Amino acid sequence: MAVFTKTSVPTGARTLPREYYLSPEIFAREAERIFAQRWLFIGREEQIPNAGDYFLADVAGESLIIVRGQDGQIRALYNVCRHRGTRMCTETQGKFLGSIMCPYHAWTYALDGRLTAARNMDGVPDFEKELYPLKTASLATWEGFIFINLADTPEPFERAFAPLIGRFERWHIGDLRVAKTITYDLKCNWKLVIQNYSECYHCPLVHPALDKLTPFDSGRNDLGEGPFLGGYMTMRTSGMRMTMSGTSDYPSLPGVDGEELDHVYYYAIFPSMLLSLEPDYVMVHRPIPISVDRTIIVCQWLFQPSTIAKPGFDPSNAVDFWDMTNRQDWHVCELSQLGISSRSYTPGPYANQEGLLHQFDRYYRSAMGF
């Protein structure tokens, strides 16, 4: 059974050095040591419900085609023709009509990556189509989310995510559907986004509306070290909801009852997912590092299909609340990036409420080999 505790920090715990947020060399090392080696959240299964449906994912400088095959399986195919390396697909999402064809010389591949046609190659000595399928990246699904891993021999997903598998079954996340997506473009390092998400020390000042619903010091955490960090916060008054009105017409999610109706759970899933579990919906952020001082964030709100199907369904009560809160967070993250860029910046001490940040730093350093 999970044990929830307040965070604390050891004596002398301090923020990361300046170069971790500014150095292009460290950013390049992150791409190789973290984003090319870890399981990364890249989308939802519902984005590609039918055979031939696809979307593109850009990961650590690579373009991958995430496609559902004729057999119903989802695969991650490198967007690189095996002939002369041409990038084959440029539309960010769409549907293949049974095959994937390179626009340069018309080499054609089945949806599972097999090379099925290579124009004018019949007379080439020793050429065999079977030797030239599209290369693939490892792919796994969990709770309706799609993850990929670029490593040659990745840690099995079931082992890497063992602390999370089954943990959120009460929310039936795999059955939920996306009702709204907002994409944000931030002028800051990706780590500042995850660190900001992992503490509410800033909430009374930055998020007065949020603090009215969940007291900033109510956080208790059951995952306090390693790649997964988080826990819950408690509603200030029983029955409140994380919406603009503080109340909700959305029904509670199946399986969420009792004291869980007054909890909101927040988990940072290293390095590419921020998962927020409300009593009546789920919110997920996907931070995408673009450069050392730029991060794209895709935020989605998931509801029960039956809720979405109701006449007059409007997610804005929840979406507007978190869009406001997100933008407040992004503003201070960008201010942090500006301040850290100063030659006067030196690492500062963490407060006890920032214990998860200290643990994030520890795990990040180990992943980077520092």
Both 27 and 118 in one domain: the answer is no
What is the average per-residue pLDDT within 238-266? 96
Q: Tokens standing for 42?
A: 């890249």
**Do residues 163 and 228 lie in contact, with contact meaning Cβ atoms separated by under 8 Å?**
yes
pTM of the complete model: 0.96
Both 128 and 207 in one domain: the answer is no
Provide the residue count of the chain: 370
User: Does residue 3 fall inside a structural domain?
Assistant: no
Number of structural domains the chain divides into: 2
Q: Which residues contact 153 (CB under 8 A, 6 or more apart)?
A: none
Give the residue numbers spanning the domain of 106: 49-137
Local structure of residue 349 (DSSP, 8 states): B
User: Does residue 12 fall inside a structural domain?
Assistant: no
Residue type, 219: G
In 3-state terms, what secondary structure has residue 186?
A: strand
pLDDT of 45 > 90? The answer is yes
In 3-state terms, what secondary structure has residue 295?
A: strand
Where residue 244 sits, what CATH number does that domain have?
Answer: 3.90.380.10
Q: Tokens standing for 106?
A: 């018309």
pLDDT of 1 > 90? The answer is no
Both 214 and 358 in one domain: the answer is yes
Both 254 and 362 in one domain: the answer is yes
What is the average per-residue pLDDT within 224-240? 96
The torsion defined by the Cα of 140, 141, 147 and 150, in degrees rounded to 10, comes to 10
Give the tens place of pLDDT for each residue, 111-159: 999 999 999 999 899 999 999 999 999 999 999 999 999 999 999 999 9
Both 319 and 271 in one domain: the answer is yes
Check residue 181 and give its pLDDT: 98
Give the tens place of pLDDT for each residue, 283-303: 999 999 999 999 999 999 999
Check residue 2 and give its pLDDT: 83
User: Does residue 234 fall inside a structural domain?
Assistant: yes
Residue type, 287: P
- The terminus-to-terminus CA distance of the chain in angstroms comes to 34
pLDDT confidence tier of residue 43, bands split at 50, 70 and 90: very high
What is the average per-residue pLDDT within 97-121? 97
User: Does residue 39 fall inside a structural domain?
Assistant: no
Both 65 and 27 in one domain: the answer is no
- Burial of 79 (C-beta count, 10 Å sphere; 0-12/13-18/19+): buried
- Burial of 272 (C-beta count, 10 Å sphere; 0-12/13-18/19+): buried
Written as one string, the DSSP assignment of 213-268 is HS-TT--EEEE-SSSEEEEEEE-SSTT--SSSSS---SPPPTT--GGGGGEEEEEE
* Closest to 276 in 3D by CA, of 342, 329, 343: 329
Both 119 and 251 in one domain: the answer is no
